[in-house]
Structure 1
Amino acid sequence: MSAERDLTRLVAGMRPELHDGRYVFTAVAGTAAPAGLAPVVTVAEREGLTLVVRQEDADAASLAYDYVAGWITLRVHSALDAVGLTAAVAGALADAGLSCNVVAGYHHDHLFVEHARAQEALAVLEDLARRGGQPGPASAER
C-alpha cells in the first residue's frame, strides 16, 4: 500500500481510532527509557528524553506528569511529505476548543488529546472525515 498525499483523500480516509487507556507525557534524564517501560512515543530533546507512556506505567515508575491524554490514530497511510493533514485535523479540533499533540509515525499520524474529551475529539474527526475536509456549520459561519 503506497502512502497517500492527496489532502481530500487523506481527510476522507482518516478512520480515526481511539486506543484504550490513558497516556501521559513525561521526561527522563539521558537517552534511554527506564527499564520495564514501553513508551508509545519517545522524543530526544536537549533537556532529556520525552516519553509517552500509559498512565499506570508512569505511576508504577514514579514518573511525574501533568497531562493525561487519549491516543487517537488516524488509520490512513499518510505520506510523510503530505501537505495539510495536520493543519486540517488541528484546525477542526481547535474549532471545538480541543488541544492536540501530533506525532507522525512512518505509516500513520497519532494524536494525543485531553483524555476527558477524547470521545468528543473522535467525533469531531469522524465528522471531518465524513465531510471530506469541507468546513462544518461552525466553520462556515465565521
Structure 2
Amino acid sequence: MTGERDLRTLLRSMRPDLNPGRYVFTTVPDGGMPTGVTPVATVAEREGLTLVLPEADAVAAGLAYDFVAGWITLRVHSALDAVGLMAAVALALTDAGVSCNVVAGYHHDHLFVPYARAAEAVEVLEALAAETGRPPAPARPA
C-alpha cells in the first residue's frame, strides 16, 4: 500500500492519536537488548543502541533516562518520501512551545513530546488539521 504524498491531504487527515502510558529514551552502550524490555523504537548509533520504551520497562531494567514523553501516532499513512508533513507539524508545535522527537515508521509518523504537554500537543495538531481542511480565504482587494 502506497502512502499519501499530498501535503494538504496529509495534514487534513493526520488524526493524532495519543497512546496510553509514559515513554522514555535510554541507551545501551554495548548494543545488547536488556531482558524484559519491549521498545517501541530502536536506533543503532555509534555510541550505543537507543531504546524508546515504556517508562516501567526502563525502571524494571535499571536503565537511566531523563526525558519522559507522551507518544502520539499520526494515523495517516504517510509516504516515506512525502515532503512537508513534519515541517508543518514541527512549526505548529514550535509555535506552542512544545518540543518533539519524531520516529518514522513504515505506515505512520510517531511523535514523542513532553508527557505533561502531550494532550496539549494533540490539540495543537487537531487544530492544524482542522485549519488545513478549510478552503483558502478569498484574496482581499488591495
TM-score after normalising by structure 1: 0.91
Q: Is the 8 A contact 1:88 1:133 kept in 2?
A: no
The equivalences for 1:66-105 within 5 A come to 66-105=66-105
State the match for 2:36 in structure 1: 36
Deviation at 1:2, TM superposition (A): 2.6
What SS does the aligned partner of 2:20 have? coil
The equivalences for 1:103-142 within 5 A come to 103-132=103-132
The structure with the largest alpha-carbon Rg is 2
What SS does the aligned partner of 1:42 have? strand
Count of matched residue positions in the alignment of Structure 1 and Structure 2: 134
Partners of 1:2 and 1:93 lie apart in 2 by 27
Q: Is the 8 A contact 2:70 2:112 kept in 1?
A: yes
Partners of 1:125 and 1:133 lie apart in 2 by 12
Per-residue CA deviations over 1:119-141 (Å, capped at 9, x if unaligned) read: 0000000000111178xxxxxxx
Q: Is the 8 A contact 1:22 1:54 kept in 2?
A: yes
Query: How large is the RMSD of aligned CA atoms in angstroms?
Result: 1.2
Q: Is the 8 A contact 1:5 1:78 kept in 2?
A: yes
Per-residue CA deviations over 1:38-74 (Å, capped at 9, x if unaligned) read: 1001000000000001001100111000000000000
What SS does the aligned partner of 1:31 have? coil
In percent, how many aligned pairs have the same letter? 69
Deviation at 1:14, TM superposition (A): 0.1
Structure 1: which 4+ aligned runs deviate by more than 2 Å? none
State the match for 1:25 in structure 2: 25
Any unmatched runs of 5+ in structure 1? 135-142
What SS does the aligned partner of 1:8 have? helix
What SS does the aligned partner of 1:132 have? helix
TM-score after normalising by structure 2: 0.91
Deviation at 1:31, TM superposition (A): 2.6
Per-residue CA deviations over 1:81-126 (Å, capped at 9, x if unaligned) read: 0000010001000000000000100000000000000000000000
What SS does the aligned partner of 2:57 have? helix
